[in-house]
Each structure stands twice: as structure tokens, then as C-alpha cells.
Amino acid sequence: MRLTQRDIARLARVSQTTVSLVLNNRADASARIPADTRDRVLKVIRETGYVADPLARRLQQQRNQILGVFTYESVFPSASADFYHPFLSGIEESAEERGLDLLLFTSAPVTDGRRRVFHANNRLRLADGSLLLGRHIPAEELSRLVAEQYPFVSVGRRDDPERVEPQPGSPSPLPSTPAARAAGGGGVVPYVGADYVSATATLTERASGLGHQQVAFVGPGEGAESSADRLRGFRQIAPRGLHIAPTDRPLSGVLDELLAQHFTAVFVEDLADADALAEAARGRGLTVPGDLSVVALGDASRPVPSDVDYSGFHIPRKEMGRQAVGLLEAILSGETPDLQQLLPCELVVGSTLAPPKGL
């Protein structure tokens, strides 16, 4: 026969409310419970081997056992489906293991080309907490989520924003809950990200060890934290290396600049761009990596037609999704985990990084 809180209360000669407060370690009530009473309840719990009913605990914590998933960019079109699928697969797998349901928020309006989590009819409170996924997440939204103590975890590293006060006419603050108050991080944005800095620095150092002295970085290098982290890792080893942000010219123009200045190795943020650059080089009769080494700093954000094994690294996308669920669940359970976690990237030796000609 399973013991209940009522049984524990009877054996300890206290009220059922007192047992509940002791079990949940309520800080606001600890001062009202005499130490000898608390010790007596704990002694009965130890002697009987009582284990609190999980369902009752969840009800008391006001949990729905639902995690929200909010994507700042569309993740289902074929051009991006391959990139986002591992993140979603890891989220789904971890949620299933924990007996949690997922709720994908799709009603957010698009403003200035971007989705916004805060709008007049947002339904965030249908979920116990949410996972945020996307390359660009507005700092003002992260700030409001933190300030209003809504439990969330970003899949991907995010800078801690300055507090942004809601503007007049903006949607009302989210109502607070016990779980939300437990999740307050003091201005810290909880995330599970990839360690792009270390991975990029390691590859840049590897190229330097092979004899490459003229190296270049091709990618935004700013805007999204993932871009800034890659450039930071590159600069750690090659502080004077060329940085090209190909935002307003085709990759063929980028190749012209690399060849004109006799660069022998190029580090490209997106594998799809790395492949396009390598194909442009081959189209001019150059060899990769003989004439130009090409390193891909991550996975492709769009389909890549070739099957070349590019040197570089893979992003731990599935594991990021899995661990983001675990971090959010820990926050919701009132634990005190490390709120900002970086996972190592998987380095790939590949076939497109070799010593420059003549060495």
C-alpha cells in the first residue's frame, strides 16, 4: 500500500500542510515551522521510505508538462529543413524521454521581416516554458523574457542584453508563476550553444602549422553571436588575417580578391558558401586544396550539391536540442544548473586543407 502525505502527517502528529511545506522545502514557510517539528517529519519520511507522488508534485508546481518551441525563422522550407532538423530531432527526443509534450508557436506575426514572440495574442503561458530557436533573436525580446521571469532556454549562445523596458502600447507583461520566479536568472540569458570560438581557433592554428601565412575569413563576422564567435576564434590565431563579409558581392568577386592578394587558405562560415567558393576556384582551373585550402566552419544552411568531404567542423545540433530541453526542465524544477552551456564542435579532418604549394 502506497503511503500518502496524510499518512506521514498522522505518524508525525502534524498537519498535512506542514508535511507539504517540508517536502517542498518552502523557504517562505521554513521560519514558521519549528525545527523539532521539521526534524520529526523528516524522520518519519526516512523511516517509512516515503516518496512523493510525481503527479501530485507536478500539480502543486502548476506544471502542464508542455514545453513551447518558438522559432524566429521558418524551419520547414526545404532550403533550411536539413539544417534545423537535427535541433528539432534532439528537442523531440529529449521531451519524449521526459514525458513532455511540445507546443510549436506559429501565430506570431512578422514585423520588419522578423517574427516576434511578444504580440497582443501570444500564448506563451500555455507552456510551462519555451525553447527559442533561430539565428537572430532580438535583444529587446530576450531582455523582456528575462525581466518578466518567463522560463526559457535559447538553443544557441546569446549575449546578455541590457534591460529593455516595454514601450507604450506594447503587449502586457507575461503573468508570473512559481516556476517563472524560480527561473529568474538575474539578467542572464539561459542557453545551450556551440563553442565556435575554440573550434575555429583550432582549425586556424592547424592551418598555420601546415605553413599557411596568408589566411582569410569569409562570413558576416557580426550580427548573430554565432558569426561573431567564429571570427573571434579566427582572430585569436590570425589577428591580421583578412576578413571578407560577402554581403554585397558574389563569391566569384571574393575569389578574385583572395587570388589577387595570394591567399592560400580561406575559412568560410557556411559550408554551402565554402562549396560555392571551391567550385568557383575549380572552374578557373585551380585545385582545392593544392592552390587554395577551403575550410568550412560549420554545417550548410542550404542544400549543397557536391559530396566533397570539407575540412572544418560539425555543429552539435542534435545534442544542443537535447540538452536545451534538459536545462529548461531543470530550471522549471527549481534546480540551480549552469544557465549558460557551450558544447564542443566535432572537428573534421576532411580533404580540403593541406600545406600550401611549395612546402
Q: Which CATH architecture has domain 196-315?
A: 3-Layer(aba) Sandwich (3.40)
CA 129 to chain centre: 15
Per-residue pLDDT at 79: 58
Per-residue pLDDT at 17: 77
Per-residue pLDDT at 186: 53
Classify strands 215-218 and 265-268 as parallel, antiparallel or unpaired. Answer: parallel
Per-residue pLDDT at 113: 67
The predicted-structure confidence for 106-164, as pLDDT tens digits, reads as follows 877 777 767 777 776 777 888 999 999 988 888 888 998 998 889 999 999 999 987 54
Please count the CA atoms within 13 angstroms of the CA of 94 that sit on its side-chain side. 21
Per-residue pLDDT at 336: 86
Question: What is the band of 285 on the pLDDT scale with cuts at 50, 70, 90?
Answer: very high
Annotate the chain with three-state secondary structure: CCCCHHHHHHHHCCCHHHHHHHHCCCHHHHCCCCHHHHHHHHHHHHHHCCCCCHHHHHHHCCCCCEEEEEECCCCCCHHHHHHHHHHHHHHHHHHHHCCCEEEECCCCCEECCEECCCCCCCCHHHCCEEEEECCCCCHHHHHHHHHCCCCEEEECCCCCCCCCCCCCCCCCCCCCCHHHHHHCCCCCCCEEEECHHHHHHHHHHHHHHCCCCCEEEECCCCCCHHHHHHHHHHHHHCCCCEEECCCCCCHHHHHHHHHHCCCCEEEECCHHHHHHHHHHHHHCCCCCCCCCEEEEECCCCCCCCCCCCCEEEECCHHHHHHHHHHHHHHHHCCCCCCCEEEECCEEECCCCCCCCCCC
* Pick from 103-112, 165-174, 198-207: least confident: 165-174
Q: Does domain 66-193+319-343 have CATH number 3.40.50.2300?
A: yes
Question: What is the band of 3 on the pLDDT scale with cuts at 50, 70, 90?
Answer: confident
Q: What's the chain's length in residues? A: 359
Residue 185 has pLDDT above 60, yes or no: no
Reported as type and span, the H/E element at residue 57 is helix 54-60
Residue among 86, 66, 107 nearest 346 (CA): 86
| CA dist., res. 288 & res. 304, Å (int) | 17
Per-residue pLDDT at 197: 98
Which amino acid appears at position 120 of this protein?
A
C-alpha cell at 86: 537535427
- Given this chain, do its domains 5-60 and 66-193+319-343 carry the same CATH topology? no
Per-residue pLDDT at 174: 47
5-60 CATH, one of 3.30.1360.40, 3.30.540.10, 1.10.260.40, 3.40.720.10: 1.10.260.40
Question: What is the band of 167 on the pLDDT scale with cuts at 50, 70, 90?
Answer: very low
Residue 177 has pLDDT above 70, yes or no: no
Which amino acid appears at position 115 of this protein?
R
CA 95 to chain centre: 16
Q: Which residues fall within 8 angstroms of residue 10, CB to CB, at 6 or more apart?
A: none
Which amino acid appears at position 139 of this protein?
A
Residue 51 has pLDDT above 80, yes or no: no
Per-residue pLDDT at 108: 73
Reported as type and span, the H/E element at residue 216 is strand 215-218
Residue 171 has pLDDT above 70, yes or no: no
Query: 3-state class of 9 per DSSP?
Result: helix
| CA dist., res. 10 & res. 122, Å (int) | 46
Per-residue pLDDT at 123: 79
pTM of this prediction?
Answer: 0.77
C-alpha cell at 345: 564542435
C-alpha cell at 87: 535541433
- Structural domain boundaries in the chain: 5-60, 66-193+319-343, 196-315
CB–CB of 193/342 below 8 Å? yes
| CA dist., res. 357 & res. 212, Å (int) | 10
* More confident: 93 or 16: 93
Residue 183 has pLDDT above 80, yes or no: no
| CA dist., res. 68 & res. 126, Å (int) | 8
Q: Which residues fall within 8 angstroms of residue 106, CB to CB, at 6 or more apart?
A: none
- The strand pairing partners of 303, in sequence order, are none
Averaged pLDDT for residues 160-187 = 50
